[in-house]
Structure 1
Amino acid sequence: MDINQQKILLLTGINQKIESEIYEVIRTKPEGIVTLHAAGPLIVHQYGDLMRTILLLVYSEGIKDIYVVGVHEQHYNIDDAPNLYDHLYRNLEFRDKLQVIDYLFSSNQIEFPNISLKEWLAGGKFVHESVHRSVEMLRNHPLMPSDVRIYGLFQNEGREIVQFPSVL
């Protein structure tokens, strides 16, 4: 499918190294792409800031295709990024808060079951699920135009970019 004449929104993490590979997979040039970087491609709230930004881009830029892109955890980390949990734990102000939040994670009172606070802060482990949830949230949003096609892409551990089932 060659969609060079249409505008595309690329929702991806902060790792920009993957962008050129995505252009090849979706067979388009960077000129027709609007890229929105976030600290992971997860849309958490149906009426949150990220969703509002996506909707604004869809309407203001005439976006016809949205690609939510996730990267396997071993490719996700930023080079030389500090371990966020250790950084927060060293700060005495956050120790009690970290224990409370970790309890909420361990007792499944937070969105992702079977994950610890430390794993969540490290990011990347549940990218596949995050992409799937984000795609579904976009597809089912009442303000998303029905003619906008929404796809999920995932770079697996072998660095292949795999497309989720396409449009509904």
Structure 2
Amino acid sequence: MYTNIHGPDYSFPGEPCARAGDLNPGDQIPVLGGAAILTVLDITHDTATGSTLLRLDVLPGGPAPPALPSDSLVNVRRPEREQDSSGRGDEPITVTVSLTVTEQVTYEFEADLEVPAAAVDDADALHDYLADNEDLWLDHLDPTGSNGYLCINERSLDAASVVLAT
């Protein structure tokens, strides 16, 4: 008897993910939000159903091995592998990474806008009017800076995490 789990994603944020079909014996799957770890003991691929049967290190008499669609995502912690003598352990690999970047940008551009006549000769009045009526000029702001000048004043990487390791 198999425990069939339905849904495209069995992962939770903050942990690396892999497809169930790409798991290997020895891989560790954090569960309960990372409060417990299950180790993959054996894997069977069922090509007829497109599922992957995982035998995990659960207590005897515990739940039946879960059967997951092979393309579903699960969190995985891979044990540290010993680096071979060829030094390939330092070779770059391709992973999907989630990035959060904050930038402070200055745009300088020109736009033909309709403004009150009283604001034409008063820089403060013009500024206040345009600040209150952002919809008048926002469509003219090109985020690439192609219609004027763009300067990135500050950039910071706020967060980075591996989403999918292959």
Please confirm whether the aligned pair reaches a TM-score higher than 0.5, indicating the same fold. no
Q: Which band: TM-score by shorter chain?
A: under 0.3
Compare the two structures and name the one with the higher strand fraction: 2
TM-score by length of 2: 0.23
Compare the two structures and name the one with the higher helix fraction: 1
Task: Tell which structure's C-alpha radius of gyration is larger.
Answer: 2
